[in-house]
């Protein structure tokens, strides 16, 4: 199986990648979607330099595509067609159990002649978190939805202490969008991704991505 990975750089992506590689999947590219400036990931706000450093530490090529929310699907599908033309047959995704996400992923893959594969699909959410931590992966929380979490949760290491601090009703996986993460070390990494949190900012994005968020400003570190 020759595949690309739809890559956020977060913990669910990492666990899905880990399992795919264990299963012998030939992962040929990490596809990360960036904002229209090409400098930060579209949903997590991680700088390009750190995403590249993460991919380098994992030993996998990073493909960075830039899009607005309006043309996101068109840009994504065009890149999938380019993958298909290069001989890639499958797309890997880190979603767990949200059916609308799977429906979209299967549709865009089908439009490019690819097959979508979701290694974490229908697995118990908390069991996935426990597996990730038991494997030794380390992640940092880079974005939180203010409907569920405050600025104090943003920028923290994703660990047992963070999980214990979550209020009732907040999913340990953040699968409902409560928070997003950036993985910086673990068994698939040749070395940790050196970084630092230089600030936490309030963000109120414009439509069609309404909401109120806190985002950690990450920078490379020596």
Spans of all domains in the chain: 2-117, 136-220
Q: Going residue by residue through the chain (222 aa), what tens digit of pLDDT does each one get?
A: 999 999 999 999 999 999 999 999 999 999 999 999 999 998 899 999 999 999 999 999 999 999 998 999 999 999 999 999 999 999 999 999 999 999 999 999 999 999 999 999 999 999 999 999 999 999 999 999 999 999 999 999 999 999 999 999 999 999 888 999 999 999 999 999 999 999 999 988 666 556 789 999 999 997
177: tokens are 């969008």
Q: Can you tell me which residue has the tokens 């996935």? A: 128
What pLDDT is stored for residue 173 in this prediction?
Answer: 92
CATH fold for domain 136-220: putative n-type atp pyrophosphatase, domain 2 (3.90.1490)
Q: Decide if 65 contacts 40 (C-beta within 8 A).
A: no
Residue 177 per-residue DSSP state: S
What pLDDT is stored for residue 4 in this prediction?
Answer: 98
What pLDDT is stored for residue 204 in this prediction?
Answer: 80
Q: Decide if 46 contacts 40 (C-beta within 8 A).
A: yes
The CATH number that domain 2-117 falls under is 3.40.50.620
What pLDDT is stored for residue 187 in this prediction?
Answer: 98
Residue 98: name the closest of 125, 73, 76, 74 by CA: 125
């Amino acid at each position: 199986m020759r595949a690309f990975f739809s890559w956020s750089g977060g913990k669910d992506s990492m666990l899905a990648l880990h399992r795919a590689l264990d299963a012998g999947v030939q992962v040929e590219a990490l596809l990360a979607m960036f904002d229209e400036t090409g400098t930060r990931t579209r949903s997590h706000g991680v700088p390009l330099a750190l995403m590249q450093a993460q991919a380098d530490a994992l030993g996998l090529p990073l493909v960075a595509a830039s899009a607005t929310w309006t043309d996101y699907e068109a840009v994504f599908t065009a890149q999938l067609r380019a993958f298909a033309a290069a001989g890639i047959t499958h797309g890997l995704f880190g979603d767990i159990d949200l059916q609308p996400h799977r429906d979209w992923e299967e549709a865009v893959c089908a439009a490019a002649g690819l097959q979508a594969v979701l290694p974490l699909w229908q697995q118990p959410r908390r069991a996935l978190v426990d597996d990730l931590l038991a494997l030794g992966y380390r992640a940092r929380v880079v974005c939180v939805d203010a409907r569920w979490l405050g600025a104090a949760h943003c920028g923290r290491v994703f660990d047992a202490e963070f999980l214990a601090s979550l209020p009732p009703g907040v999913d340990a996986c953040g699968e409902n969008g409560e928070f997003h993460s950036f993985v910086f070390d673990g068994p698939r990494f040749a070395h940790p991704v050196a970084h630092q949190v230089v600030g936490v900012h309030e963000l109120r994005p414009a439509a069609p991505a309404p909401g109120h968020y806190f985002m950690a400003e990450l920078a490379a570190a020596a």
